[in-house]
Structure 1
Amino acid sequence: MTSFRLNAGGVVDRSQPLRFDWDGLTMSGLQGDTLASALLANGVRVVGRSFKYHRPRGVMTAGPEEGGALVTTGRGAQRVPNEKAPMVELFDGLQASGQNAWPGVRFDIGEINDLFGRFFTAGFYYKTFMGPGRGTWAWMQFEKLIRRAAGMGTASREPDPDQYDIVHDFCDLLVVGAGPAGLAAARQAAEDGLDVMLVEQDFALGGRLIGSTETVEGQPADQWLASAQSALGSVRVLTRATAFGLYDGSIVGIYERLTDHLASPDPQMPRGAIRIVRPRRIVLTTGAIERPVAFGANDRPRVMLAGAMETYVRRFGVAPGSRAVVATCHDGAYSSAMALAAAGISTTLLDARMALPPALADAARSAGIELMPGYVPVEARGHKGVRGLQVGRLVDEGSLARSEREIACDCVGVSGGWSPAVHLVSHRGHKPVWSPELACFLPATAPEGVALAGAARGVWATDAVLADARTAAADAVAGLRGKRRRKAAERPEPGGWETPIQPLWEVRVDGVKLKSFVDPQHDVTTDDVRQAAREGYASVEHMKRYTTLGMATDQGKLGNVIGLALLADSLGQSVPETGITTFRPPYTPVPIGALAGRARGTHWQPERRTAMHDAQADDGAVFTDAGLWKRAWWHPAFPGEPLENAYVREARAVRSTCGMVDVSTLGKIAVQGPDAAEFLDRVFVNGFAKLPVMKCRYGVNLRDDGIVMDDGVTWRLAEDEFLVTCTTANAAKMMAWFENLLAFRWPALRVHVASTTDQWAGVAVAGPRARAALERVVASGDVSKDGLPFMGIVHARVRVTDGEIPAMIARISFSGELAFEVYTPSGYGPALWKALVPSVRAEDGCAYGMEALGALRIEKGHVTGAELDGRTTLDDCGLGRMASTKKPFIGNALRHRPELSRTDRPQLAHFLPVTEGEKFSIGAVVCREGEVKGHGIGWITGVTVAPALGDGWLGIGFVTGGPAAWEGKTVVIADPIRGSEVRARVASPHQFDPKGERMHA
C-alpha cells in the first residue's frame, strides 16, 4: 500500500508510531494523528458508503462537518457507530471499521442501488408506499426491507460498560473555540482578572494556525501559538470538549471526551462528562465552516474541501495525493493551494473569477501553481478515487459552464466559501442574516451577555480576527464591572479578502446530465432540491424533510447553504427571501450515556424500599418495581416456587383463611386546619364535611375536565385533621396538586398539607380469619365487629418481640374480604411485620404480594391506575352514584359534557373465556364477533386466575355500553401483537360477593 506521509512537516510526533486496525488490516500512524489523517497516510481511499446509493466515500473534511468518512470504532459492548474519522484521535491499538456496507466498504453489494438512482429521487419513499391497493399488508412487507436497509452503523445491543458523569461549572467568561480568536480572547480576559474557561473540541489548541507557516503579529504562527498558550495562566482549558448547546439563561452544555483517546484508560475514569456551565458572559469564537461546490461526481473519494487538504498537509504531514486541482471562487483557498505546492504536490488552481487577487495570484505563480481564471470543475472522473477532473469555463457569473478539457489528477480540493458557525446563538432563536457581499449567513444579534468574534462573525484576516476577539473580551470585562467600552475599540467589519467572492453553488453544463451532490451522506443531489421545488416544497423546512438534506449526522454543515441557494434559484427568489432552516442542539452528537450520567441501571432513579422490605426479603420474598418502590411480588412457599403457582395459592389463602400484605407505598397526605373538611369537599366527588371523627371514607377526585384523576380512602382523625391515602403511582402528583390548589386557587382556605407517605408503615390483614389473626397481637384497642365497624378507625398498641408499639387500625377492604389496615410509625415497621407473620400463619394464612393483590381486586371489580388511565369517567368505572348532587367539586361541571355522558361509552366489565383453559393478555382489544379490526369496542386492563370464581381465567376492562349492553353476550378479545383471538363472555364486574357481605362480616 502506497504511503502518502510526507518526509517532513506537520506537528505529529514521528518518533512515536502507533498501530491501529482498519477493517481487519493492521496499519500505522503517528502520535498526533486522527484516524482520518492516518488512513490518508496509508493510502486508504474508500472509508465509507453513502446512505441511499452506497456510493464509495472517502475523507472529505478535517472536522465535525465530515459527511463521508463515517466509521465504527471499538468492539463488542464498546462499539460506537457513525464516528467521524477526522474527529477520532488515533491511539495505539485503535480498532475501526467501515459501515453501511456488505461485505465491506471496498466492495459493497449495496452499490447496485446506484444503478437505480433515478427511481430513488427525493420523496420516493412517500410515493412508493402510497396509492391504490397499497394497504397494510403491502406496507408490512416494505417495512421489513426498510428496517434492514435503514440506518448507517450498527450500535451494540450489549449494555454500555462505560461510565459517564455530569459536572456543574461556573465562570466569569466562557470562551468557546480555541483557535487564534479564542486564545486571544481568553488571554485578554484572564489578564484583566476574570475567571475564564476555554473549551475546544479538538485535542490541540490553535485551530487553523496549527502547522501554519503564516506570520501572526510579526511572529511565525507556531511561535505565536506557543506564546499564546503559555500566557493562558489561570485559564481553565478543556480540550476534546464540544459546546453542543446554548440554552435559556446562557447555560451552555458541553460534552467532554475523557478517555476516548487512551489505549488503556483507567476503568474507574468516566468515558465522558456532560458539563453544564453557567457563565456570566460568553464569547463564541467558533470559527467558520468551509463549504463545497456541487459539480458532477463531487462525492468521489479524494474530492475534499480545500481547507481540509491544507490541514492534512500542514498539521499532519500527509499528502492527499500527488497531483491536485484546487477549485474556488474566493481568496481564502489560495493558501490551501500554496500549502499543497510547498509540500511538493503538483497543483492547479481553478478560480471561477476572471479578476484574480493580484498579490495572491503572484504568490501562487511563484509557488509553481498553474492558475486557470474563469475555470470551474465540471465532473470528477474515477470510481473509488479520482483519476481526473473535467473542467470548463463559466458562460457567465451564474452556474452554467462550457466543458473544455480534462486535467489528470488524483485529488481535488474544493472551496465555495466559508459559513460562520452561528449554531449556538441560533439555539436561542437568533436567526442569522444573509450577507450578499460575503455569500454567507452572518449572526444578526446575540443573546444578552453573548458575543461572537473572529470568523464566527465573518472576519477572515488573522490580524482582524485577533483584534475582534480582544475587543469582545474587553467588552465582557467592562460589562461585568459595570463600565462602558471606549468608542475607540470598534469591531472590525466582516470580510477581509483582497477580491470579492463570486458566489458559486453549482456547476452545470447545458444538455449534460451531471450527478452533483449537496448532501453526500444522504445522497441528496441538486436535482432532488429542484424536484422538491417543482413539487411544491417551497418552504426550506419542507424541502429539508422531503429531500432529507441536512438530516444526516453532519446536520447540514456541508450542504445546507448550497441547498438553500439552489432552492432560492429554483423558486426565482433571493436567499434571504427563501430563509434558513432552524439550528437545534446538539451541535454534534452526544452519547445517550453521557446525558444519563450516573443515572443508569439501578441508579437511573432512586430506589425506594418500605420499612418492612428487609423483613420480607429475609423470608424469601421476590420483589418487583412499582414506580420507584420495591414491592413484594410474591412470597414463595418453597425455594423456586414460580409466580404462576404462588400468587394463586396466596389469593386462595386470603379467600379461605387470611393473608397479610405490605401497603406502605400507598400515598399518604396529612391535611390539617380549620378548613380541611371544606377543602376535601371541593376536591372529592363525595362529601367529607360530615364524616365522623375516627371514620374512613372511600373517595374519588376528578381533573378539571371531568376525567377521574385518582381514588383512595380518607381517614378523619380529628375535626381539623385528615389522612388522605391515594394510589402509589399518583402519590407525588396528588401532593403537588393539593399544594397548587391551596397556593393559587383557594389561598384563603386555612389548610396545611404535608406528605407523610414515608412516615407510616402499613400492613393490610385480609380474609375470614383476619380479625382472629389481628387479635393475637393487639395489646389494647378493640378490633371486634362492634368495636371496629366497617370503615372505622381505632388507636391501638401491638405486641412485638421486645414490648409494644403504637398503631392506628382502620377496617378497610381492597380485596372484598374482612380486612384491616394497620399503620405504625415507619421505625416500627419491621417489628410490626415480624409480629404479624406468626399470627397470620397460626390462622393457616400467609403473606401475599402484588400479584395476588391484583388477583383479589380484579375478582372484586375494584379499579386501580390501570383503569384510571386519564381517559375514564366516574360512570365508565361504575362509580357515578358516588358523585354528590348537593355540593360543587372539581370537574363536576365538565363531567356532564355530552361526550362524557354517552351511555355507549366503554364501561367497566368482567371478561371470561368461553373455552376453558384459554387466556388473553393485558392490552388486548375487545371486538365484536366478526369485526376483529381497528380499535374494537373496548380493551383489557387486567387479567388473573380467579380462585374465587372457580380458578378460571378472568379479565377486567372496558366495553362499549358496559355490562348493561353486553352482559351474557360474547365478544372476541384480539391480541394482534401476540397473534391470538379468544372468545369471551361479558359479565358484571361485581360477580364476587356483590352485596359486600364478606367485607362487612
Structure 2
Amino acid sequence: MTAWRTEGGTAIDRTRPLRFTFDGKMVDGFAGDTVASALLAGGVSVLGRSFKYHRPRGLWGAGVEEPNALVDIVGAMPNTRATQVPAADGLAVRSVNADPSAEKDRHAFLDAFSRFIPAAFYYKTFMFPDWHLFEPRIRQMAGLGTLDAGLREPSFAEQVNHHCDVLVVGAGPSGLLAARKALREGRRVVLCDDGRQVGGSLLHRAATIEGKPGAEWAADVAAELVEAGALVLAGTTAFGIYDHRLIGLSQKGADGAPDRLWRVRAGSTVLATGAIERPLPFGNNDLPGIMSAEAALVYLRRFGVVAGRKIVVATNNGLAYEAAEALAGTGAEVTVVDYRPDAPAPTGLRVLKGLTVVSASGRGTVSAVRLSNGSVLEADAVLVSGGFTPTVHLYCQAQGKLDWRDDILAFVPGRPVEGVEVVGAAAGDFGLPAELAEGATRDFGIVAAWPKPGAKERVWIDLQNDVTAKDVELAVRENFVSVEHLKRYTTLGMATDQGKTSNVNGLALMAEITGRRIPEVGTTTYRPPFTPVPLASFAGARSGTLMNPLRRLPLEREHRADGAVFREYGGWLRPAYYGEGPAEARIQAEAAAARKGIALFDGSPLGKIEVIGPDAAPFLDFIYYNTVSTLSPGRCRYGFILSEAGNIYDDGVLVRLDENRFVVSCSSSHVAGVHALLEEWRQDRFDRSRIFIHNATAEMATLTVSGREAPALIAALGLNAALDDAALPHMAVVSGAFEGAPVRIARVSFTGERSYEISVPADHAAALWSRLRREGEAYGATLLGLEALMILRAEKGYVVIGKDTDGTSRPMDFGLAAPLERKKVEFIGRRSLITEDAARADRRQFVGLEAVDGKGALPTGAHGIERASGSLRSTGYVTSSYFSPALQRPIALGLIERGLSRMGDVIELQHLKEVRHARIVAPCAFDPEGGRLHA
C-alpha cells in the first residue's frame, strides 16, 4: 500500500506539524489527524495482527466501525481504535496482539496451522486431561492490548445528569435537520455526535443544501443551535439506551479536559446514527490495503490522504463512485469493478461491469486482485463497498424489532418504539432528507454479493474476531444453526465489534447454507455499550479523597495546636494521640491518666440522626433488635441494629428527647449507612407523613468529659442545666445552654468511667473546647486520643462493630438472646435469628482472652486452633488486643467457638507459626461491677 498526502484535508492544520511513535518508529502528522490517518499517510500498512491467526491487518474504516487498527496508547489507554484517537505530539502508540511489532510478529507462524485451529477448536482440543492446565497460556495468547504497568491514573472523569425534551444522536444531515426542527418548536435539545466536528457524511461527501456546501451548512446549523440554547456535544458517543429512557453518552475530553459521562433522560430520542459500509466477501479479503471505499473518501477529503496510486474500487452499489471519482481526480490510477452488469457509470473512469473480485493476493499487503473472468488487476489499494448496514444498535437496545428490506439488502427499524424515532441512513434512507435534497439524488442500486459456501480460499466474515466463511460452515455442520449459537460458537459479531461490519454477511452465509432467507435467520442481540467506554467514566470523579471523602472535625485546628497526631478512622481524620515521643508510650500514658483523673475527648463523629413524628417509636422498634418504645423521655438505651440476615450491623445509644423525638447515636463510620437504612425502611413499610428523619451529625459537635471529677468540671461550665444524679443519672439526657447556644448533655460512657457527652452546634465547639481546656487545668485534665480510648473500652469489654464482629456475628453470640425471646413486634432480621444456622452450638461467641504463657499481648488476628487427625482447624480469632495500664497486664477480646460456655478453658492460638496460650474469660476485665460509672 503506497498511500500519500495530497493537497487539502479539511480536518488538519498543516501549519501545526506533530510527531509520535508507532511500535517505536517515528510518524509525522498534523494537528487534526487521527492516529490512523497519520499512519496511513506515513505509509504504515500493517497496523495490527489478527486476533487468532496473527495475520497482518491494515486499516479498514475511519471511525467506530474499524475492526483491525486496535492500538495501545502507552501510559494512557489500551485497546483503543486508532481511528478515534487524535494524533498528538509525543504520543507513544503500540500495536496490539503483536510481538515485538505489528510488522514483525513472532507469532505469525500460527497462520500456517490455521486448518488445525478452526472455530471452537480449543473447546475440543484442550478438554483432556484438564482445560485448566492450558487455560492460562491460551488466555495470554488470546489477549489483545496490554495493560501498561506504568499506566497513569486518570485525573478523573466527570459525570453529568441531564434532562431534555429531545436528544438527537448523530449530527449528520438528518440529525441536524431534526435538531433544528425541534429547537424551532421551542423544545430543549441535546445533539451529540461521535465525530470531533458535526456534519457526518457532509464532511466528506459532496452536497449542496440551502444554497451552501454541505459542510458549511452543517457548521451554520450547529452555530444556530448553540446560539439558541441547544447543547451540542461533539466527540460524544451514545453508547446505550437503558430503562426509563436513560441514554448513556461518553464524551471524550479535548485539550486536556477530562472525559465526561452523560446520563440523559429525554422526552424523545431521534436516532440519526447513519450506516456502516460492509466488506465484500472474496478470498484473502483481509489483506492490508483492502479498505472501505467510504473510509478512503473520508481520508482523502478530511485528512488529505490518498489510499494508493493504483487503486481498484470493487462495489455492488452506486455509492462508491464518488470515492472513485475523487481519488481519480488526485492523479491515482483507478479501476472500478462493478458487480452490476447494467450499472450506470460516469465518464472518465475505467469501469469493469458485471465482474466480481474472486480473491486478493500479496505478501504483507495487497498487490493484485483476480476477477471472475480470470483476469488479474495490479493494485496497491483495494477499496470495497458491499452495501451499507443501518446502525440500528441503539434502536434494538430500546427493544425495537427489525424488518428486512430487499431493495437495500439490509435490516431496518421495524415497529415503532415509544419515544424513539429513527431517521436518515439509520432508517435505510441513504440519500439526503427530502427537505434538503437539491439536484440529483445518489444512485444506490445495490445487488447481492453475499459470501458463498465452499470457497477454496479463506474469506473473512468478521475481521475483528478472525471468523472465516469456513467457520460459519463448520458451525452449521455441527448443528449450531441458531444465530445466537453461531455467534457464540464462532465469536462472530462479539465483543466491541457488535456486528458492525460482519453481522449481515454472516447471516447471509448462514441463510445460504441452511436454505433460509436472511430475515428467517434473524439477528443477534445488540448489547450496550455500542463502543467501549473507559472505566474511569463509570467511576466518575471518584479517586483518592473524591472516592472516599475524608471528613474533618470542627476542632481540627485546635487539636493540631494541642499536638495531636492524626489518623483516619472510618473516613474521619481524628486525633490518634497527643504529644511528641514514641506513639505507644503516649497512648499508654493517656489511657492511664484517664483512669486516674479527668479526660477530654472529641466524639463529634458519633451519629446524631433525629427520628421525629408520631410513629417514631414503633418505627424504631422495627429498626432495633431491642425494644425502644418503652424508653421514657429523657432516657437513653444501648441497642443493636441488625441486617436482614440477622447479623449485627451497628450498635449505639438511642436517646429519647420527648414522646415523638429520638436521636440515633450510631457508630462514627456507620452514620451514612444507618441514615440510608432508616430512610429505606421509612419508605418501605411506614407512613412517611408520620415519620421524619434528619441527619444532624455534621451540625453538632460532641465533646466528652470522663472521670471521677467530671461532675465538678461540668458544673464549672455553667450549662444552665440540672446535672445532679437525681436529674441526670447514668443513661439519661438533659438540655441546657452554653453562651446562648442550645446544648444536650447525655450521661453515657464508652470508657467505663462517669462520663458526660455535651453536644453543641458545631460553630460553638471551639469556644466550648477552649472553656473545657481552661477549666480542666484545675483538675489536671488530659486529652484523650482514639487509640487510648480503644484501650479503655477494651478493658470494659465494649464492642466495636466491624472490629469485634464479623459478617456473621449475631446478638446471641454476645449473650443477648432476651430481646428475641421477649420482643413481640417484628424487627429487621428477626426471621434470620430463628434459623438453624443462628442456633448452632458451635457459633463463634464474644469473650475475653487472658494470656497465660507470659509472652506478652496476644497478636490481633491470631487464630484459636484445634488439632485433629494431624491437621489444624481454626476455632475463631483475636479481635482486639492491648496492654492495659490500669491492670498492668495484657488484655484481649475475641470470637471463639462455644466461647460463652467455655469460661476458664485454656486454648491454643497460632499467629505466623507462633503458638500462644490463653484462658477464656469474661470480656470485661476492669471494674466488672460498674461502680466507676456512678462514682
Bin of the TM-score, shorter chain as denominator length:
0.7 to 0.9
Check 1:204–1:808 CA distance in 2 against 1; reply closer, same or farther (3 A cut).
closer
**Aligned residue identity for 1:259:** A
Aligned equivalent of 1:461: 431
Aligned equivalent of 2:351: 369
Q: What TM-score does the superposition give when structure 1 sets the normalisation length?
A: 0.79
Separation in 1 of the partners of 2:864 and 2:414? 58
Which among 497, 502, 517 is matched to residue 559 of structure 1?
502
Separation in 2 of the partners of 1:63 and 1:933? 61
Show CA shifts across 1:698-726 (max 9, x none): 12234555444432212233344432322
Offset at residue 456 of structure 1 (A): 0.5
Aligned equivalent of 1:441: 411
Q: Contact 1:969–1:986 (CA<8 Å) still a contact in 2?
A: yes
Aligned equivalent of 1:992: 925
Which among 84, 103, 107 is matched to residue 104 of structure 2?
107
Q: Contact 1:668–1:724 (CA<8 Å) still a contact in 2?
A: yes
Count of aligned residue pairs for this structure pair = 922
The 5 Å alignment of 1:438-517 reads 438-462=408-432, 466=436, 499-504=445-450, 506=451, 508-509=453-454, 512=456, 514=458, 516-517=459-460
Show CA shifts across 1:593-618 (max 9, x none): 45555555434465543333332233
The answer to whether the aligner puts 1:38 opposite 2:41 as a matched pair is no
Check 1:290–1:623 CA distance in 2 against 1; reply closer, same or farther (3 A cut).
farther
Offset at residue 457 of structure 1 (A): 0.2
Which among 802, 809, 833 is matched to residue 769 of structure 2?
833
Q: Contact 2:209–2:436 (CA<8 Å) still a contact in 1?
A: no
Show CA shifts across 1:486-516 (max 9, x none): xxxxxxxxx9966453151x45545x463x5
The answer to whether the aligner puts 1:904 opposite 2:842 as a matched pair is yes
Which among 213, 221, 234 is matched to residue 239 of structure 1?
234
Separation in 2 of the partners of 1:144 and 1:661? 58
Check 1:550–1:632 CA distance in 2 against 1; reply closer, same or farther (3 A cut).
farther
Aligned equivalent of 2:744: 808
The answer to whether the aligner puts 1:178 opposite 2:178 as a matched pair is no
Separation in 1 of the partners of 2:181 and 2:785? 67
Offset at residue 458 of structure 1 (A): 1.0
Separation in 2 of the partners of 1:450 and 1:121? 41
Offset at residue 856 of structure 1 (A): 4.6
Structure 1: gaps spanning 5 or more residues: 394-403, 469-494
The answer to whether the aligner puts 1:282 opposite 2:269 as a matched pair is yes
**Aligned residue identity for 1:698:** Y
**Aligned residue identity for 1:311:** V
**Aligned residue identity for 1:832:** L
**Aligned residue identity for 1:964:** S
Show CA shifts across 1:151-204 (max 9, x none): 514357565465654556665544322223234444555566666554332233
The 5 Å alignment of 1:881-960 reads 881-883=818-820, 885=822, 887-891=824-828, 892-909=830-847, 916=855, 929=867, 942-947=879-884, 954=892, 956-957=894-895, 959-960=896-897
Aligned equivalent of 1:203: 196
Offset at residue 522 of structure 1 (A): 4.2
Aligned equivalent of 1:387: 367
Check 1:96–1:812 CA distance in 2 against 1; reply closer, same or farther (3 A cut).
same
Task: Indicate the percent of aligned positions where both proteins have the same amino acid.
Answer: 34
Show CA shifts across 1:453-478 (max 9, x none): 1110011234659579xxxxxxxxxx
Offset at residue 287 of structure 1 (A): 0.5
Check 1:866–1:58 CA distance in 2 against 1; reply closer, same or farther (3 A cut).
farther
**Aligned residue identity for 1:223:** P
Separation in 2 of the partners of 1:951 and 1:134? 56
Aligned equivalent of 2:671: 731
Secondary structure of the equivalent of 1:635? strand
Q: Contact 2:851–2:919 (CA<8 Å) still a contact in 1?
A: no
Aligned equivalent of 1:22: 21
Q: Contact 1:50–1:523 (CA<8 Å) still a contact in 2?
A: yes
The answer to whether the aligner puts 1:609 opposite 2:552 as a matched pair is yes
Offset at residue 405 of structure 1 (A): 6.8
Offset at residue 115 of structure 1 (A): 5.6
Aligned equivalent of 2:607: 667
Check 1:985–1:723 CA distance in 2 against 1; reply closer, same or farther (3 A cut).
same
Separation in 2 of the partners of 1:989 and 1:541? 63
Check 1:651–1:272 CA distance in 2 against 1; reply closer, same or farther (3 A cut).
same
Separation in 1 of the partners of 2:386 and 2:860? 61
Offset at residue 62 of structure 1 (A): 0.8
Structure 2: gaps spanning 5 or more residues: 227-231
Which among 573, 576, 586 is matched to residue 634 of structure 1?
576
Aligned equivalent of 2:626: 686
- The alignment yields a C-alpha RMSD, in angstroms, of 4.5
The 5 Å alignment of 1:851-890 reads 851-858=787-794, 860=797, 862-866=799-803, 871-883=808-820, 885=822, 887-890=824-827
Check 1:574–1:955 CA distance in 2 against 1; reply closer, same or farther (3 A cut).
farther
**Aligned residue identity for 1:242:** T
**Aligned residue identity for 1:68:** N
**Aligned residue identity for 2:399:** G
Aligned equivalent of 2:229: none
Greater displacement, 277-286 / 125-134? 125-134
Greater displacement, 123-132 / 228-237? 123-132
Check 1:698–1:129 CA distance in 2 against 1; reply closer, same or farther (3 A cut).
farther
Separation in 2 of the partners of 1:272 and 1:124? 40
Q: Contact 2:863–2:878 (CA<8 Å) still a contact in 1?
A: no
**Aligned residue identity for 2:78:** P
Show CA shifts across 1:203-233 (max 9, x none): 33433343435x65797xx724434543555
Separation in 1 of the partners of 2:909 and 2:461? 54
Separation in 2 of the partners of 1:243 and 1:193? 24
Separation in 2 of the partners of 1:425 and 1:919? 63
Separation in 1 of the partners of 2:870 and 2:430? 68
Aligned equivalent of 1:223: 213
Show CA shifts across 1:896-937 (max 9, x none): 233433333444456788984797666x88775469999x76
Check 1:574–1:4 CA distance in 2 against 1; reply closer, same or farther (3 A cut).
closer
Q: Contact 1:71–1:153 (CA<8 Å) still a contact in 2?
A: no
Secondary structure of the equivalent of 1:898? coil
Aligned equivalent of 1:791: 731
Q: Contact 1:378–1:389 (CA<8 Å) still a contact in 2?
A: yes
Separation in 2 of the partners of 1:971 and 1:189? 77
Secondary structure of the equivalent of 2:294? helix
Check 1:727–1:30 CA distance in 2 against 1; reply closer, same or farther (3 A cut).
closer
Secondary structure of the equivalent of 1:667? coil
Offset at residue 98 of structure 1 (A): 3.4
Offset at residue 785 of structure 1 (A): 6.6
Q: Contact 1:685–1:884 (CA<8 Å) still a contact in 2?
A: no
Q: Contact 2:578–2:784 (CA<8 Å) still a contact in 1?
A: no
Offset at residue 971 of structure 1 (A): 6.4
Aligned equivalent of 1:399: none
Separation in 2 of the partners of 1:56 and 1:158? 27
Separation in 2 of the partners of 1:603 and 1:903? 45
Offset at residue 367 of structure 1 (A): 0.5
Offset at residue 632 of structure 1 (A): 0.8
Aligned equivalent of 1:358: 343
Q: Contact 1:967–1:985 (CA<8 Å) still a contact in 2?
A: no
Aligned equivalent of 1:520: 463
Check 1:996–1:200 CA distance in 2 against 1; reply closer, same or farther (3 A cut).
same
Offset at residue 44 of structure 1 (A): 0.9
Which among 674, 687, 691 is matched to residue 747 of structure 1?
687
The answer to whether the aligner puts 1:712 opposite 2:658 as a matched pair is no
Secondary structure of the equivalent of 2:102? coil
Separation in 2 of the partners of 1:113 and 1:932? 51
Offset at residue 969 of structure 1 (A): 6.2
Check 1:464–1:830 CA distance in 2 against 1; reply closer, same or farther (3 A cut).
same
The answer to whether the aligner puts 1:63 opposite 2:63 as a matched pair is yes
Offset at residue 638 of structure 1 (A): 0.9
Offset at residue 290 of structure 1 (A): 1.6
Offset at residue 531 of structure 1 (A): 5.8
Separation in 1 of the partners of 2:752 and 2:517? 74
Aligned equivalent of 1:487: none
